[in-house]
A and B are shown apart, each in its own frame.
Chain A
Amino acid sequence: MSFKKKDLIGLKDLIGLKDLSKDEILFILETAEKFKEIGKRDVKKVPTLKGRTVVNLFFEPSTRTRTSFEIAAKRLSADTINFSASSSSTSKGETLIDTIRNIESMSADIFVVRHAFSGSAKFIAENTRTKIINAGDGTNEHPTQALLDLMTIKEHKKTFENLNVSIIGDITHSRVARSNIWAMKKLGINLKLFGPKTMLPVNTDPFGCDVCTNIEEALENTDVIMMLRIQMERQSKTLLPSVKEYAKLFGLNRKKMQMAKKDAIIMHPGPINRGVELASDAADSPKSVILNQVENGVAVRMAVLYLLGIHNGG
């Protein structure tokens, strides 16, 4: 085994799960499991990253991912600063890398980056000494989301090998789907993808997954159903006739759940569009582990911040 735990401690960046090995992914999950306990304490704070500065650089609006990272950093005693594009100089014509170097000069230790364009997290990482955690770049990757998804799956299903997972929704424009696909393939999960044809890549070969043609096929014999958020604000009218039709053909409700395995779980990266991709009777059912995902998000982000931050300057 070429993987050494040491290699991950002090890792420069976390850009995507495409770049990590199975063992590295499992190690991050194990680390996250240890950190989860801290959130259950009365005093939810450890001194691990005391004196370190974590800057949330959000060039695209986000509330929950940013909040999750902020809580994670604070639980590790890091100082956190939020920088968002709306209030930033990017609208004043400053280039991305100039912005990055300015904040780097204030001696930040870790940047948590969200950006609207694919490849931007890598671009930033290549041009700064500061460590980078990708919190979503365009339609490329959102590694911590996939890690928290995997952590949740592991809690409920114990193992990844030969588990049947279905990802349903807008695959083409989903960084959550991409990160999950890369990781799940490495972990031996059987993956099925389903969504409107307008939201599936023309060429799905690199994913190496089964692409389903109807919801029955997608749900049959499935252990985990991952519903993606339909970005109503982002989709042009050429991709979907209506959300009503989407709910009917591609959405999940309690009745359709019966097609999956009896103990199947429902996941969603949030925020949910109730009545669109998820009916309330599915979202609120005991099979739904959505809030569990959110809880694990903090633990996963603590683990990643710890792994990147711990060797930075001592």
Chain B
Amino acid sequence: MDLLLKGGTIINHDEEAVSDILIKEGKISKIAKNINTGSKTETIDCTNLIITPGLIDMHVHFRDPGLEYKEDIFSGCDAAAAGGVTTCFPMANTKPVNDNAFLTLYMIDKAKNYGKTDIFPVGAITKGMKGEELAEMGEMKQAGALAFSDDGLPIVSSEVMRRGLEYASGIGAFIITHSEDLSLVGDGVINEGEISTITGLKGIPSEAEEIMISRDILLSKLTGAHIHIAHVSTKGSVDLIRRAKDKGLNVTCEAAPHHFTFTDEELLNYDTNYKMNPPLRGKEDVEYIKSALKDGTIDIIATDHAPHHPDEKFVEFDKAPNGIIGLQTLVPLTFKLIDDGIIGLKEFVKLTSYKPAKIAGLTDRGEIKEGKIADITIIDTDKTYLYDDKLNKSKAKNSPLLGASLQAIALYTIKRGRIVHKN
């Protein structure tokens, strides 16, 4: 079935223009002004709307298999589609851990049959994410994995991390690092700083993240392997990554919307919905993350969508699990950066689809161009709405933004030419 998008402003990473888009057989077949196909073609009037490549989220947790009470691949894909995301990279900390081709295939097939979102499961680097022996990355790659990570846990042994990097780069994959010095984190639950002093909540210093990022950058230098650093949250981390890039090292990184939206001041109320890892940082860090998004030091935005059951968050602060759901707040929170004049529309596309596709080597997407697959997000940048339980498609409710009024929404999400969500 053909689909015609009329009169929208098409945003690519390098240009924006008002044009029509004709979609045939799941691909972008033609981009031109005033395409006429006759009345039979399904048409969406995109006047005053923005058309971007389908968003690619390189960091989500779908909890499937094993923890389906938090989320499963169906509800995860529903939330992705509702948030304008057409490609997701679910992390390996499922139960059991996704450290083999069988589970990787299970995840891919389940999402494929559902048809809303392509998923590229991130396989574990080590068996059981124990940080000891390498997992069968080659087989997982053959099954469809593009990247490997023990996300949620750092690989403590530098030797194991080195071998993981070498092996992954040898098979044409890359490593996503969760960089954290656990001994320095200790029992910490929030950022160490003024707010930990005030609240009596134990602090996690920025250096816990920065020390491990330093090591991981050095191991990338040693091995020449591409590392992608997940959820960068501090000023110091950005500086380290900038220096590595200046030296030409094979390093990329991501920031999560919550880390450029909230500061640790939110923790003054001990609200567990603001408990995450890395923790929300200080004002200076948040400003620095924003400027690094602007200047390209931070390559991409990834949500670290981390669903938890409401019961799990309704406990003493120290006992609550880390994480916030983020797929449906990616667009509004990132458009806030545009509203505030920090990034432009082209940077938005670069951060949320073009660069993620480039980093993952996905040549068929990330741009609105003839011949690319028709993964498209149509955004209404002006619409204000209540982000409530009805709108929320995740099984989880762990977002402090639930119940808040937001601006900018993915009006239509198109996956391979099919409308998979309409807001």
* Complex interface: stretch among A22-30, A115-123, A157-165, A282-290: A115-123
Known: A95-B314, A115-B316, A202-B203. A122 touches B197 (CB 8 A): no
Q: Which of A138, A175, A201, A202 contacts B318 (CB 8 A)?
A: A138
B205 pairs with A123, CB closer than 8 A: no
**CB closest residue in chain B, given A137:** B200
**Chain A residues with CB under 8 A of B205:** 202
**Chain B residues with CB under 8 A of A97:** 314-315
Known: A95-B315, A138-B318. A118 touches B199 (CB 8 A): yes
**A197-215 near B? 1/0 per residue, CB < 8 Å:** 0000111111100000000
A203 pairs with B317, CB closer than 8 A: no
Complex alpha-carbon distance, A112 and B73, angstroms: 45
A206 pairs with B197, CB closer than 8 A: yes
**CB closest residue in chain A, given B282:** A203
**A203-231 near B? 1/0 per residue, CB < 8 Å:** 11111000000000000000000000000
Q: Size range of the interface on B?
A: 20 to 34
The reply on A152 being an interface residue by CB < 8 A is no
A123 pairs with B317, CB closer than 8 A: yes
**CB closest residue in chain B, given A127:** B314
The reply on B270 being an interface residue by CB < 8 A is yes
Within the complex, the shortest CB–CB distance from B243 to chain A, in Å, comes to 24
Q: Which of A96, A115, A141, A201 contacts B197 (CB 8 A)?
A: A201
Within the complex, the shortest CB–CB distance from B64 to chain A, in Å, comes to 25
The reply on A139 being an interface residue by CB < 8 A is yes
Instruction: A118-B201, A202-B205 given; name 4 further pairs at CB < 8 Å.
Output: A96-B315, A122-B269, A122-B270, A203-B192
Complex alpha-carbon distance, A84 and B319, angstroms: 19
Known: A96-B316, A120-B316. A204 touches B197 (CB 8 A): yes
The reply on A178 being an interface residue by CB < 8 A is yes
The reply on B65 being an interface residue by CB < 8 A is no
Within the complex, the shortest CB–CB distance from B271 to chain A, in Å, comes to 9
Most buried by B among A117, A119, A137: A119
Complex alpha-carbon distance, A119 and B200, angstroms: 8
The reply on A140 being an interface residue by CB < 8 A is yes
A118 pairs with B270, CB closer than 8 A: yes
**Chain A residues with CB under 8 A of B317:** 117-120, 123
**Chain A residues with CB under 8 A of B192:** 202-203
Within the complex, the shortest CB–CB distance from A180 to chain B, in Å, comes to 13
Within the complex, the shortest CB–CB distance from A16 to chain B, in Å, comes to 9
**Chain A residues with CB under 8 A of B318:** 117-118, 138
**Which chain B residues in 173-198 approach chain A with CB under 8 Å?**
192-194, 196-198
Complex alpha-carbon distance, A202 and B193, angstroms: 7
A207 pairs with B197, CB closer than 8 A: yes
**A166-187 near B? 1/0 per residue, CB < 8 Å:** 0000000001001000000000
The reply on B340 being an interface residue by CB < 8 A is no
B270 pairs with A119, CB closer than 8 A: yes
B196 pairs with A123, CB closer than 8 A: no
The reply on B311 being an interface residue by CB < 8 A is yes
What are 17 A-to-B residue pairs whose CB atoms are below 8 Å? A95-B315, A96-B316, A97-B315, A117-B317, A117-B319, A118-B200, A118-B317, A119-B200, A119-B270, A123-B270, A140-B201, A202-B192, A202-B203, A203-B196, A205-B197, A206-B197, A207-B197
Within the complex, the shortest CB–CB distance from A102 to chain B, in Å, comes to 16
Complex alpha-carbon distance, A203 and B205, angstroms: 11
**Which chain B residues in 267-320 approach chain A with CB under 8 Å?**
269-270, 311, 314-319
Within the complex, the shortest CB–CB distance from A119 to chain B, in Å, comes to 3
Complex alpha-carbon distance, A137 and B270, angstroms: 12
Most buried by A among B194, B196, B200, B203: B200
Complex alpha-carbon distance, A307 and B199, angstroms: 25
**Chain B residues with CB under 8 A of A137:** 200
A206 pairs with B200, CB closer than 8 A: no
Within the complex, the shortest CB–CB distance from A254 to chain B, in Å, comes to 33
Known: A95-B314, A96-B316. A119 touches B199 (CB 8 A): yes
**Chain B residues with CB under 8 A of A96:** 315-316
**B249-280 near A? 1/0 per residue, CB < 8 Å:** 00000000000000000000110000000000
B270 pairs with A203, CB closer than 8 A: no
**Chain B residues with CB under 8 A of A119:** 199-201, 270, 316-317
**Chain B residues with CB under 8 A of A141:** 200
Known: A118-B270, A122-B270. A203 touches B316 (CB 8 A): no
A178 pairs with B194, CB closer than 8 A: no
A178 pairs with B314, CB closer than 8 A: no
Complex alpha-carbon distance, A209 and B86, angstroms: 53
**CB closest residue in chain B, given A115:** B316
Known: A97-B314, A118-B318. A175 touches B200 (CB 8 A): yes
A123 pairs with B316, CB closer than 8 A: yes
Most buried by B among A18, A122, A137, A138: A138
Within the complex, the shortest CB–CB distance from A242 to chain B, in Å, comes to 21
**Chain A residues with CB under 8 A of B202:** 118, 139
Complex alpha-carbon distance, A201 and B199, angstroms: 12
Within the complex, the shortest CB–CB distance from A10 to chain B, in Å, comes to 24
Complex alpha-carbon distance, A138 and B318, angstroms: 10
B316 pairs with A140, CB closer than 8 A: no
Within the complex, the shortest CB–CB distance from A113 to chain B, in Å, comes to 12
Complex alpha-carbon distance, A202 and B205, angstroms: 9
Within the complex, the shortest CB–CB distance from A20 to chain B, in Å, comes to 15
**Chain B residues with CB under 8 A of A18:** 198
**Chain A residues with CB under 8 A of B269:** 122
Known: A202-B193, A202-B205, A203-B194. A138 touches B200 (CB 8 A): yes
**Chain B residues with CB under 8 A of A117:** 316-319
Complex alpha-carbon distance, A140 and B201, angstroms: 7
**Chain B residues with CB under 8 A of A202:** 192-193, 197, 203, 205
Complex alpha-carbon distance, A175 and B311, angstroms: 28
Complex alpha-carbon distance, A143 and B269, angstroms: 18
**Chain A residues with CB under 8 A of B199:** 118-119, 140
A203 pairs with B193, CB closer than 8 A: yes
**A98-123 near B? 1/0 per residue, CB < 8 Å:** 00000000000000000101111011
Q: Which of A139, A205, A207 contacts B200 (CB 8 A)?
A: A139
Complex alpha-carbon distance, A122 and B205, angstroms: 25
**Chain A residues with CB under 8 A of B316:** 96, 115, 117, 119-120, 123
